[in-house]
Amino acid sequence: MAKNDFDELMSVGIDIGKDTFHIVAFDPDGLLVMRKPIKRLALVQTFEKLPRCVVGMEACLSAHFVSRTLRKMGFEPRIIPAIYVEPFIKGQKNDYNDAEAIAEAALRPNLPIVPEKSQEQLDLQALHRVRSRLVSRRTATINQIRAFLIEQGITVRRGLRALKNSFETILEERKEEISPRMRSILIGLYGDWLWLDDRIESVSKEIEQISRTEENCVNVMTIPGIGPMISTALVAAIGTGEAFGRGRDFAAWVSLVPRQYSTGGRTVLGRITKRGSRYLRMLFVQAAKVILMRTNRWPDFSFGDWLTKAAERMNRNKLAVALANKLARMAWSILRYKTAFDAPRDEVAIGV
């Protein structure tokens, strides 16, 4: 469509696919003026012919790349979480209806949008995802080794280290009970395990190196219980936290708040919502549990009095989530205002 076919657009919605994008555009009167599919490689060529306007897209793979590309061209891209697009879908679900819903949602002034990630954030996020996958594969490999040993009537006490220390001894002392083929399978799995250990250590060292050189990560690591993993994952996910107006909003996004079902002035709170970032939530809860294990250090923290009183009225799991919520809010504040926590620097050593 040539640029002079219309002088102005109100919004454009893009339904992003692997190879094909579906585009829907509205003029200032709210009338549908364009509805077409384009190839991914034709993105720049197509939008060069369009008037500059708001462009909405769902948060998904390549959304940040598309957003950066359009912003350089003078458009105003808005990345919208899919959960907020769904209420705008009319009729059956298809690519054009999705694009139309995105275009309408992009114009809502109070609708939360996803901040555009820089290439450095995407790289750091990729490192964490690779490490998470490797850890998952290592756990699966260890479980498979245990399962095969149990099928041979051999059990090993719980724990990764217990199995690693006794594996070669088991193969030697139980060689009469284990067939040559099963022995070969177990040795192969053990080799996979060792390779995964090396890869995890390599990726972890790279993440730790980044945490020591990135200013925001260094500031966040001054919080007790927070180390290289949490600080880098946090910066990769939210940058400097400008997407959130306050720490409570960030804690809610990480889903460290109760699920609410309130009506008629009656407030009903349940378990945590578990709607946000599962990975960050797991890391913050792990950090909280590390702190809870060291009760002798609580008086050294500025929140030590609160933690001592909370421990008297909460069970341990509930206390861990409450502390994780507090850590998340402090982390957001440090990122947003570029400050450091008031704890001594040696607290970094106990961090996750």
Q: CB–CB of 273/257 below 8 Å?
A: yes
Domain ends where: 192, 213, 234? Answer: 213
Does the pLDDT value for residue 4 go beyond 70?
A: no
Q: Is residue 4 part of a domain?
A: no
The answer to whether residues 156 and 229 belong to one domain is: no
Domain ends where: 151, 178, 213? Answer: 213
Residue 226 has a pLDDT of: 93
The answer to whether residues 207 and 219 belong to one domain is: no
Inter-residue long-range contacts of 200-208, CB under 8 Å, 24+ positions, other chains counted? 200/131, 200/134, 200/135, 200/138, 203/127, 203/130, 203/131, 203/134, 204/131, 204/228, 204/229, 206/127, 207/124, 207/127, 207/128, 207/131, 207/232
- The position carrying tokens 């030697």 is 172
The predicted model gives 321-340 an average pLDDT of 92
Residue 344 has a pLDDT of: 45
The answer to whether residues 166 and 239 belong to one domain is: no
Residue 234 has a pLDDT of: 95
- 146-189: pLDDT as tens digits: 999 999 989 898 888 999 999 999 998 888 888 999 999 999 99
The answer to whether residues 176 and 225 belong to one domain is: no
Does the pLDDT value for residue 6 go beyond 70?
A: no
Residue 351 has a pLDDT of: 62
The answer to whether residues 241 and 266 belong to one domain is: yes
Q: CB–CB of 310/319 below 8 Å?
A: yes
The answer to whether residues 173 and 71 belong to one domain is: no
Structure tokens at 123: 């790289």
DSSP string, 165-183: HHHHHHHHHTTTTS-HHHH
Does the pLDDT value for residue 37 go beyond 90?
A: yes
**Comparing 347 with 325, which gets the higher pLDDT?**
325
Quote the domain boundaries for residue 148: 119-213
Angle at 208 between CA 205 and CA 209, to 5 degrees: 85
Q: Is residue 114 part of a domain?
A: no
Characterize the bridge pairing of strands 11-15 and 258-260. Answer: unpaired
Domain ends where: 213, 244, 260? Answer: 213
DSSP string, 202-250: HHHHHHHHHHHH-HHHHHHTTSTT--HHHHHHHHHHHTTSTT-SSHHHH
Residue type, position 229, single letter: M
pLDDT category of residue 74 using cuts at 50, 70 and 90: very high
Does the pLDDT value for residue 319 go beyond 60?
A: yes
Q: What is the count of structural domains for the chain? A: 3
pLDDT category of residue 345 using cuts at 50, 70 and 90: very low
Residue 276 has a pLDDT of: 79
Q: Is residue 112 part of a domain?
A: no
Does the pLDDT value for residue 231 go beyond 90?
A: yes
**114 secondary structure, DSSP code:** B
Average pLDDT, the chain: 90
pLDDT category of residue 313 using cuts at 50, 70 and 90: very high
Does the pLDDT value for residue 84 go beyond 50?
A: yes
The answer to whether residues 243 and 163 belong to one domain is: no
CATH of the domain at 47: 3.30.420.40
- pTM across the whole model: 0.85
Does the pLDDT value for residue 350 go beyond 60?
A: no
Helices marked H in 254-351: 278-292, 304-313, 316-337
The answer to whether residues 246 and 305 belong to one domain is: yes
Q: Is residue 298 part of a domain?
A: yes
